Amino acid sequence: MNRKFILASGSPRRKELLALIVPEYEVFPADIDETLPEGLAAEESAEFLALQKAAHVSEKFPESIVIGCDTVVISEGEVLGKPADISDAERMLKKLSGKIHTVITGVCISCGEHREHFSCKTAVEFYPLSESEIADYISTGEPMDKAGAYGIQGRGSVLVKAVNGDFFNVVGLPVSMLKRRLDDFLKTV
């Protein structure tokens, strides 16, 4: 049987990256409450949300292969999601300045009740940032819809000193790991 693929995300970056391994798919963003349960470890939050997104969309399309994803930035045990406003973006960038943080993308592949989920971690080091560098970057508007208030694939690339791990994971989709997991998943459904 030829199954339809669905990306449970509206992220333009994820759309581009998924097209590298799944040429034809549809997009159906998961509209879920992203509140994390109390006591959930920061490192488990991306995979938890990816599972929720994939399960939600799988209910609507039980015969399709649904891919749900969530990316979080973790610095000193704090999950840095998308900034609420400019001052929140400034706070996040100051927190990341001159330090190493972790980017985790959780992924869930789902078809009906059958699910496979995993996480990919990448360490990212920022250069020390001046107040003016932070203000200039925020003025571009780029940080406002990105976890951790930066986009490594855009103007935020100039903030990054080093990446240890999967670069595409930081963009929002660990392409090579997903390809392998998806190939294995397709053998079971």
Which residue is catalytic, options 70, 88, 145, 166? 70
Torsion angle, alpha carbons of 15, 16, 21, 24, to 10: 60
Give the CA distances from residue 112 to residues 5, 30, 63, 119, in Å, rounded to whole numbers and listed in that order: 12, 15, 6, 21
Token match 């986009």: residue? 151
Residue with token string 């990919």: 120
Least Cα distance to 147 among 94, 71, 39 occurs for 71
Whether 166 is catalytic is: no
Three-state DSSP class for 108?
strand
Q: Which residues pair with 79 in a beta bridge?
A: 74
Q: Which residues pair with 107 in a beta bridge?
A: 69, 118
3-state helix, strand and coil shares in percent for the chain, rounded to the nearest 5: 40, 25, 35
Nearest to 116 by CA among 31, 41, 179: 179
- Report strand pairing: 160-164 vs 5-7: unpaired
What are the residue numbers of the active site? 70
